[in-house]
Structure 1
């Protein structure tokens, strides 16, 4: 497989894909880009509809044999198929459904909240000039201008608190990983929650199981390798506009 991964700092969706590639032993040509500066919209990257209209917002782009793909959970599934390392998805159909349902929860509830809080804490400097998606352009304009209403920020904080509570409940039976075996659910959950401790410390004040889970995850060689692909001291503080906040709450 000939693949190029255009990725941002190892936070949010870029972390998921980097760590999945390393876990699976997939040899990719890694190209770091500045997502906060809007470099994903550069003419140097391929821009099919799937990239321009990505529901994930500012995430990595994987190009394989000239075909561009986006969205971290689905990219991790792809890498799980083509890589040679241990599986990142359960073989049992019901267990796989559980994992994908968990990932959907993260994509639709946690990721928009984390991106909203992250860009509110550290707004990007300017709106890129060549964004094709009107929805994403609007999120950029709001982030740069500091225009996110307090109701959405309050709702986002609530969703992060609920996500930590969900992790604590999932880990309460003594398991090491969210689905029993290590999986994409662990990577995607860590990806969006790692930067929330500094922004919302109260959410983690009584979360010892989540803390222990994070420590186990950071100790994995592939995760450490992914986190090392950074150009800043604290990549978890770097945010670009992410998924749209759910209209249904």
Structure 2
């Protein structure tokens, strides 16, 4: 497989896709872009509907031939099929369902909370030109102007606490990884939670199983390769508008 991956710093959705590609041994042409500056909306990138209306917000874009794809979990699934390395999705149907259900939890609950907190801590400077999605343009404007309410931020912090509690409970039976063998669930969870330690320290204050899980993740060659692509000292502090905060609690 040959393709071009336009990616940001190894944090959030860009981390998931970069680490998945390295884990699977997929040889991609890596093109770093500044997601926080809105470079994904440049005319240099393909803009099919799937990219312009991505619910993930500012994530990486994978271009294979004349097809452009986005959304980190689904890109990781694509790379799992395209690559030659060991699978990063369970073979067992029930375990695969568990993994996808876990990833959906991260996408819908954890990712919006992490992006909200990350952007509140370090707001982007300006709304980029060329955003096709009205919803995403609104999230950009909210981030630039610091419009996140105290209620939204408190709810986001609570969701990060709940996510770590969920990981602790999942690992309590002595397993090393969240769903059977190492999988996309581990990458996606780490992607959104790694930058939350300084922002929500109470979530990690008493989470020894999560700490050990993260150490195992950081020791993997694919994770080190992804993190080595950082061009700033602390890539986990670099955020751009992400998924929309769930309006229904």
Alignment match, 2:127: 127
Structure 2 counterparts to residues 1-249 of structure 1, below 5 A: 1-249=1-249
- Match of 1:5, SS state, is strand
Unaligned runs of 5+ in 2: none
- Aligned-pair RMSD on alpha carbons? 0.4
C-alpha contact (below 8 Å) 2:95/2:180 kept by paired residues: no
Task: For 2:2 and 2:232, locate their aligned partners in 1 and report how far apart those are by CA, in whole Å.
Answer: 28
CA deviation after TM superposition for structure 1 residue 2, in Å: 2.0
Task: For 2:160 and 2:239, locate their aligned partners in 1 and report how far apart those are by CA, in whole Å.
Answer: 16
- Match of 1:168, SS state, is helix
Q: Deviations over 1:154-201 (max 9, x none)?
A: 110000000000000000011000012000000000000000001111
CA deviation after TM superposition for structure 1 residue 49, in Å: 0.3
CA deviation after TM superposition for structure 1 residue 139, in Å: 0.3
- Normalising by structure 2, we get a TM-score of 0.99
CA deviation after TM superposition for structure 1 residue 204, in Å: 0.2
Task: For 2:193 and 2:222, locate their aligned partners in 1 and report how far apart those are by CA, in whole Å.
Answer: 18
Task: For 1:179 and 1:95, locate their aligned partners in 2 and report how far apart those are by CA, in whole Å.
Answer: 7
Q: Deviations over 1:52-105 (max 9, x none)?
A: 000000000000012000000000000000100000000111100000000000
Aligned length: 249
- Normalising by structure 1, we get a TM-score of 0.99
Task: For 1:98 and 1:248, locate their aligned partners in 2 and report how far apart those are by CA, in whole Å.
Answer: 23
Task: For 2:8 and 2:66, locate their aligned partners in 1 and report how far apart those are by CA, in whole Å.
Answer: 20
- Match of 1:242, SS state, is coil
CA deviation after TM superposition for structure 1 residue 129, in Å: 1.1
Task: For 1:89 and 1:101, locate their aligned partners in 2 and report how far apart those are by CA, in whole Å.
Answer: 12
Task: For 1:198 and 1:150, locate their aligned partners in 2 and report how far apart those are by CA, in whole Å.
Answer: 18
CA deviation after TM superposition for structure 1 residue 114, in Å: 0.2
- Match of 1:199, SS state, is coil
Unaligned runs of 5+ in 1: none
CA deviation after TM superposition for structure 1 residue 111, in Å: 0.1
- Match of 1:6, SS state, is strand
Task: For 1:32 and 1:199, locate their aligned partners in 2 and report how far apart those are by CA, in whole Å.
Answer: 26
